[in-house]
Structure 1
């Protein structure tokens, strides 16, 4: 019977795991914007998902009347402490006040000035305050609208750094043990024809994400790698798994029946002999096999093997490759 053949080789074989995920802002580079005092949003210059540059106005806030009152009270307290100190100094010069009373008056003025400076740092000295972007970023969260009244310290919006992103990839739970931080991953947008680029896994989580029912693996990106990426974009990733040395044969040499996988080797007397095998990694048109009687250098049937039976005489159409 006329056949074509290949050879059993011992070689390093690496598998590629294909996964999918989304671009998200790097949570370590997300900045929350809040007001140091209460007030009312009078203007809003940005929307959710908008790109902003460092120094760009985000929103305008009218200072809450109670915050303005606290500032006026602090200012009045400074004036009172200054007047009180002048009185004590006059009494001290006439020896009608003690040095301890003078020191106390001086300390009261220091405390009053500190309280006034704190109110100014909070912005309570201004009728309105404009909050600006601290860096180039993307508005990833927006919690207010014009007219809203807000309390001090409440998050108004969040800014994700434009040039620091994550690709959050979804991994099937059974594949998690095959991954390690530091592994290379080749990334490419699912839609469009943008070129692929390389990154490394920084994290492989140990819990299932309830939203996707997959395990998250993180590939961080920065600098030029983020140039054409937008949060929410779908990405395809090819993760190069650890390489292993194994016996491999051409994929066309492996057949399957009710007993499982098998192949035919060509014995020196030009007869085909069936060997049952267990298959493993596949790459570059070859597949790893193991089984009793399989060893490197054997000739295996790659074409014509569907018609073979164990012990059938064969002749090759081409030299073994």
Structure 2
């Protein structure tokens, strides 16, 4: 009796399995897939360019020798960041410049004595008013010449030249022991919070750019947050050192934090945009007939031949007569599909 019941149960299970296999065979094979959505959005070609950070030349301060002398000491090095009032270099006064100061001081003393004498003669009516005015003017001129020498620093045997503002030493023209003439350049200071990003543009792309276009910048070798700025200049000549055309993006204030002159930057410039349909890039496949994708409809995958366009940020522009925004396309598992094949969604996808 027991054996008969076991045999009957086995027959029932076998019948159920055969029924299931028959139903599956009737339905045909299915593929496990993941999907994405067709979007309608504005998209345009993106120009990727590279360049370097340089000090803003409009905010570079040149430090020159006010008088002749010799460099006694350099307090800073090229590329060093300095604070306002920080010593930059020590310049000893040239003997000739020192002599000019002494002569100016002697001239003041002489003009003062001469004026005293002319005033005395004028009081005794032995000098004219014109002679008195001339003596007074001579003193004024001599005092002005002495003040000028003091402004030049020739009244000191040596002079410490200090930074007028927070800055970066962008150029050094002298070394300790160098003798310099009056007006000779000593060094240059670039404003710390005023930088340029000089991007190199291929000559054939220049006509597509204009000042005011937005640029997204990111350091090539660092993970800084992207910076959003605008082109301020697009040059019209080729830079002979890079064989590219320079385009300038100015940065100031907090945008310069963490950036160093000489750092390489990558820039993305969005060109003219237009509205189009886009799909995830992984949805697009290619064969001998061209590009195509699979649209999911009523549990089945339908092949749709397409034309592709610009690809950006993981999505690609596509065109097809029967493709519409909001439709579902296959992004994973599409390599296994054939037209009309049944599909089932992976867990977590709907």
TM-score range, shorter chain: 0.7 to 0.9
| 1:65 maps to 2:68 | no
Which residues of structure 1 form unaligned runs of 5+? none
C-alpha RMSD over aligned residues = 3.6
User: Which residue does the alignment assign to 2:310?
Assistant: 281
Structure-2 change in CA distance of 1:179 and 1:8 (3 Å)? farther
Higher helix share: 2
* Cα drift, residue 110 of structure 1: 0.8
Structure-2 change in CA distance of 1:37 and 1:87 (3 Å)? same
User: Which residue does the alignment assign to 1:122?
Assistant: 152
Give the conservation status (yes or no) of the 8 Å contact 1:201–1:217: no
User: Which residue does the alignment assign to 1:93?
Assistant: 123
| 1:162 maps to 2:188 | no
* Cα drift, residue 109 of structure 1: 1.1
User: Which residue does the alignment assign to 2:224?
Assistant: 195
User: Which residue does the alignment assign to 2:24?
Assistant: none
Give the conservation status (yes or no) of the 8 Å contact 2:294–2:334: no
| 1:185 maps to 2:216 | yes
Report the structure number with the largest CA radius of gyration.
Answer: 2
| 1:104 maps to 2:104 | no
CA deviation vs aligned residue, 1:153-180 (integer Å, no higher than 9, x gap): 1110111122322232333334441565
| 1:137 maps to 2:163 | no
Give the conservation status (yes or no) of the 8 Å contact 1:12–1:243: yes
User: Which residue does the alignment assign to 2:4?
Assistant: none
User: Which residue does the alignment assign to 1:40?
Assistant: 70
Structure-2 change in CA distance of 1:67 and 1:258 (3 Å)? farther
- SS at 1:317's partner residue? strand
Distance 2:118 2:204 in 1: 80
CA deviation vs aligned residue, 1:259-289 (integer Å, no higher than 9, x gap): 8x544788x9x99787573x43223433224
Pairs within 5 Å for 1:1-321: 9-176=39-206, 177-178=208-209, 180-187=211-218, 189-192=219-222, 194-206=223-235, 207-241=237-271, 243-252=273-282, 254=284, 262-263=291-292, 277=307, 279-290=308-319, 293=321, 296=324, 314-315=340-341, 317=343
User: Which residue does the alignment assign to 2:13?
Assistant: none
Structure-2 change in CA distance of 1:284 and 1:59 (3 Å)? closer
Distance 1:53 1:21 in 2: 28
Distance 1:28 1:49 in 2: 18
Distance 1:55 1:271 in 2: 73
Distance 1:271 1:317 in 2: 7
Which residues of structure 2 form unaligned runs of 5+? 1-28
Distance 2:152 2:36 in 1: 78
* Cα drift, residue 21 of structure 1: 2.3
Distance 2:105 2:260 in 1: 48
* Cα drift, residue 122 of structure 1: 0.9
